[in-house]
Structure formats: structure tokens, C-alpha cells
Chains A and B, each alone.
Chain A
């Protein structure tokens, strides 16, 4: 077990090498969120009022798109692992004298690291279209750390999906069905007050909403979206987000590692 960390890092390095050898992956996983920034900024930006004088839509939008993007980390994780399974790479890894958790830890670390690049490019794109966080460098960095942590914990959900489905294509479809509604049934892009009452409650407790609200706070905005009641998650979005991340990891890390160990032993 003394090699657990270095084994994981070798796997992470493999993923980063893949990005160098096939740069298209990185290019496209960056273009998509940037495209979202531009679309939302210019399509909805004009028609959605923030209700706060002096604050335009892009200030509220950026944290929303950041969270949506890192939530989709699990897509890359799930598809990548499903592909490795399909191609027999997981078999090879399993025949090596490496730590049993290394392959999945290395994978989630690698996907987490990819988010650093994606978030940087998105932040820059946001800046170019008028996003100006007003909370000072420390809080902005803290916001990004929060986002990276959220991406890392979502990657663990992706591990379980990737190891459970039969092919990469299924993984991709499954992830979209699960994550897309989650990011839209939230305060990310529009106020939740326009939703039917039941959905408002859902949106309020949705981890995506608490993440978005938390990031808005860290980027210097008043928490004004998504409050349907003076509930605990809407009052304490950062704390609630941390709790969600701990819960997600506490559930999915052991499940994923176990799944990896048992996958081919069926």
C-alpha cells in the first residue's frame, strides 16, 4: 500500500499526457462552456433583470455556468472509465501489482485537474464579456477552490456510473439525463421564483443551487437568487455545499472503489 499515492499519480499523469497527445479533447471541453457563457450572456442577458441596480446578468450568470461546468466533470469521468473498461485497459491495470484504489483515485484527480484549465479559460472569457467579481483576490480564489472540490466530488459519481454501464456511449447518455435537469432546476440561470412551488423547494435544496449561491457570495454578490423561504440552505449556501460534498464523497468513494475491485470479478 505504500505505493497507493504514487500509483494514483501515475494514472493522473496518464490523463494529462492524453490531453497533450490529443489536444482536441481539451479544446472541446473548453469551447463548450465558453460557448455557454457567450450564449447566455447575449441571448438571456438582455431580457433577464437581476432586480439589483448596478448589477447586470453576467455577474449572476458566471457562477451558475461555473457550477454547471464542474458538475459535468462526471461526464468525462464516466465516459473515460467506460472506455477503459471496453478497451480492456482496466483488465491490464487489474493484473498489475498496484493499489486497488489507484486507478479510480488517479482518474478523479486527473479530471479535477482538467477543471483548473477549463475554469481559467471560462473565467477569462467571462471577464471579456463583463464579469467583474468584486470580493477581492482571496475570496475569488476561494470560490474557485470550492468549484474544484465540487468537481472532484462529482467525479466520484462519474466513477460509479462509468463502471456500471456497458459502454461509453451509454455512460454519456446516462450522465446527460441525470445532470442536465439538475443544473437547470436550480438558481443557476434564472430566478427560481418563477417555478411551480414544488420545483422551487427542490431547487432550493439542490446542491447546484447552494453551490451557485455560495459562489455568488464569494464573488461579492448578495445572495438574492433562489430564495423561496428563509431556509437553512439558502441562508448558508457555503456550509450546505460543503455538507453536500462530504456526503457525496462519503457515499461514492467507497462505492466506487468497491465497484472497481469487483467489476471484472463477476
Chain B
């Protein structure tokens, strides 16, 4: 069954500082209706710029994009009626309460005053913020703030939702909560484009992943497809140093491929194609030789491996604190 493309971006180019900085370099992507596309890339790869163009906040230098079949450049007003946007930085009024904010945004979506209040109540309930409804946002935790921001983008149940790094800067618990909320939305059939620099997040939430670097998509596919691109499963055994030779022989026999021996880690590994059977064979062979491995397992490549093999560098920026620094945002967005 062929599904409708809710979001299409073709050859988007965006430069800053009179062409000196190329934020997007012919980026193309699409999202099928009712699915989640995870746009994965390091800081400065062009994730935020892409979202801002699709959400009509930014005009590309060239290229073409439609959202729900509507041209974002020619008809931005109509696009705004069908999208929800929740940014990397909680864009709600911090001096107002959660309730104030949701009523205000409901009114700006042209709900009637009574309907606005009803909707605010529903959303506060849905996002477990009812108790904090009458508190100013500045007293909220990071996770609560993000949830409220997300709630504000769901007032009219948008067909297409853009989430720009929804969990950046959150602690693990806040991240887990946010994932739960997003998974709930996806179940309800919302089309979602989500940017993230966390591989784990893309793995968890996205149906399909587009890896971007330097303003273009360098790979795309499901998480499994991308992992396969890097190579299949590997059998990995960690054993005492005196056993390593025997272990190597066993692994060689089962794998038939190139065996990697890491003496210092006391680890032997090799690619296998027979899945769990290889694991069982290895365990049996080790037992026959009376070797007790310290660890034995099948290792699937992580998205981290994928990213490194595609780009030559890790996805998560070393300077994590830069992400939280508002000055960094300024530079990224401009």
C-alpha cells in the first residue's frame, strides 16, 4: 500500500552570512502520513534550519517544500493551520502560568473563550500538569516545561507535528517521560518529524531515520536497514587470557570470517550470519573445551556505529554544554 507523503522537501539550500555559511546544501527528505521520521545529526548539521523552513519560519534560498500538500513558500498561512511546532527551547511565556499559556495559544488558534478553557484543561490533564496549572512556567522543571510546550503545539490536533530536539537538555527521567508522551501521540496517528542528536532517541521513536551531516541527507532507512548497512551481527566472547587462543579457534570455525582479537580487552569477535545458532554453537564448543567465558554474546551494531561509519565522527557533540547555551542557539538559528 502506497501512502501519502505528508512532508516533502526537495533540494533545500539555505546560506547565512551572504553565502559564507551553507546551512543546507540541497537537502531532500519526505515523511509518509502517519509515520515518524527521525532527522538525526550533530549540532550544526542543518536540523533546526530544516524544521524552521518546513514550519514557515524561514525561507530557503532555493528548493521546494510542501507540508500536507501545501507549498510552504507560496502559502505559509495555510501551512500554519495544519502544523504544530515545538522547539528546542521551550517557547512559552515563562511569566505566565501553564493554564494562562494554553488558554492564550488556544485563543490564538481561534477557539472560543469557553472552548479554549476546556482545551487547556484537557491538555493539562493529558500531560499530567493539572497540579502545576496555576504555577508560573518559570517554576517548572525542564521536563514539565517541555511537556507544556508540546501541549501548546497540540491545541488543534495538528496533522503534522515538528519537534526540534524535544529532549535536549533534559535529565534521563525527563527524557523518558517525554518519550512516553511522544509515543502516545504517534499511536494516535500524528505524522511526526523529529530532530535529534541522540541515536537512542531516533532508534526508540522513529519509523524511519534520515541521517544528515553538513546540510544534506547522507543516509536514510529504518534503524535496522541502517544498522545492516554497517554490517550484520558479530559474535563476541570475552575470556581469560590463557584461553584466548582456543577461543579464537572456536570463533574462527563458527564464523568463517575475519576474526578480531583484542588482547588487552581479552575479547574475540567475528561477523556471523547464523544469528542465535552461532551463539549456541559457540557455547557448546566452549563447554566441550571446559572454557568458562567471562562474557559471550551477539552484538548488533548500534546507531552510533552507523553514524561513525557514515560520517567519520560521532553524533553527539563533545561539547554537550554548548547545546544548552543560548548563545549557541543564536549561532545555529540566525
Binding site for B on A (CB under 8 A): 3, 6-7, 10, 13-14, 17-18, 21-22, 86-89, 91-98, 166, 264-266
- A14 close to B80 (CB less than 8 A): no
Contacts of A96 in B (CB 8 A): 80, 105, 108-109
Closest 6 CB pairs of A and B: A88-B91, A92-B91, A95-B85, A97-B80, A97-B81, A10-B107
Contacts of A95 in B (CB 8 A): 55-57, 80, 83, 85
Query: Scoring B residues 83 to 101 as 1 if CB is less than 8 Å from chain A, else 0, what string do you get?
Result: 1010101111111110010
Question: For the complex, is B214 an interface residue (Cβ under 8 Å from A)?
Answer: no
Closest-CB distance, A5 to chain B (whole angstroms): 12
Question: For the complex, is B63 an interface residue (Cβ under 8 Å from A)?
Answer: no
- A18 close to B95 (CB less than 8 A): yes
- A91 close to B108 (CB less than 8 A): no
- A97 close to B57 (CB less than 8 A): no
Other-chain residue from B55, B77, B81, B326 in contact with A86 (beta carbon distance below 8 A)? B326
A96 to B91, CA, bound (A): 12
Contacts of A21 in B (CB 8 A): 95-97, 100, 136
A264 to B219, CA, bound (A): 29
A95 to B56, CA, bound (A): 7
- B110 close to A3 (CB less than 8 A): yes
Contacts of B58 in A (CB 8 A): 264-266
Closest-CB distance, A258 to chain B (whole angstroms): 14
Closest-CB distance, A79 to chain B (whole angstroms): 13
- A7 close to B87 (CB less than 8 A): no
A21 to B96, CA, bound (A): 6
A88 to B55, CA, bound (A): 14
Closest-CB distance, A29 to chain B (whole angstroms): 14
Other-chain residue from B55, B92, B330 in contact with A89 (beta carbon distance below 8 A)? B92
Question: For the complex, is B334 an interface residue (Cβ under 8 Å from A)?
Answer: yes
Contacts of B85 in A (CB 8 A): 91-92, 95
Question: For the complex, is B52 an interface residue (Cβ under 8 Å from A)?
Answer: yes
Question: For the complex, is B222 an interface residue (Cβ under 8 Å from A)?
Answer: no
Closest-CB distance, A11 to chain B (whole angstroms): 8
Question: For the complex, is B104 an interface residue (Cβ under 8 Å from A)?
Answer: yes
Contacts of B110 in A (CB 8 A): 3, 6, 97
Question: For the complex, is B40 an interface residue (Cβ under 8 Å from A)?
Answer: no
Contacts known (A86-B326, A87-B89, A88-B89); A10 close to B55, Cβ less than 8 A: no
| 24 A-B residue pairs with CB within 8 Å | A3-B110, A6-B107, A7-B108, A13-B104, A17-B100, A18-B93, A18-B95, A21-B95, A21-B136, A22-B136, A87-B89, A87-B91, A88-B87, A91-B52, A92-B92, A92-B105, A93-B108, A94-B57, A95-B57, A95-B80, A95-B85, A97-B81, A98-B108, A266-B334
- B96 close to A17 (CB less than 8 A): yes
Give the one of A3, A17, A22 with max B CB within 10 A: A17
Question: For the complex, is B59 an interface residue (Cβ under 8 Å from A)?
Answer: yes
Closest-CB distance, A239 to chain B (whole angstroms): 40
Smallest Cβ-Cβ distance to B83: which chain A residue = A95
A265 to B58, CA, bound (A): 4
Closest-CB distance, A81 to chain B (whole angstroms): 13
A265 to B56, CA, bound (A): 8
Contacts of B16 in A (CB 8 A): 266
A88 to B97, CA, bound (A): 17
Question: For the complex, is B237 an interface residue (Cβ under 8 Å from A)?
Answer: no
Other-chain residue from B57, B93, B94, B95 in contact with A264 (beta carbon distance below 8 A)? B57
Query: Scoring B residues 49 to 88 as 1 if CB is less than 8 Å from chain A, else 0, what string do you get?
Result: 0001001111100000000000000000100110101010
Closest-CB distance, B96 to chain A (whole angstroms): 6
Closest-CB distance, B122 to chain A (whole angstroms): 19
Contacts of A13 in B (CB 8 A): 104
**Which residues, 218 to 250 on B, are CB-close (under 8 Å) to A?**
none
Contacts of A17 in B (CB 8 A): 96, 100, 104
Contacts of B37 in A (CB 8 A): none
Closest-CB distance, B76 to chain A (whole angstroms): 9
Other-chain residue from B97, B136, B152 in contact with A92 (beta carbon distance below 8 A)? B152
A126 to B330, CA, bound (A): 45
A97 to B56, CA, bound (A): 11
Contacts of A98 in B (CB 8 A): 108
A18 to B110, CA, bound (A): 21
A266 to B59, CA, bound (A): 7
Smallest Cβ-Cβ distance to B81: which chain A residue = A97
Contacts of B59 in A (CB 8 A): 265
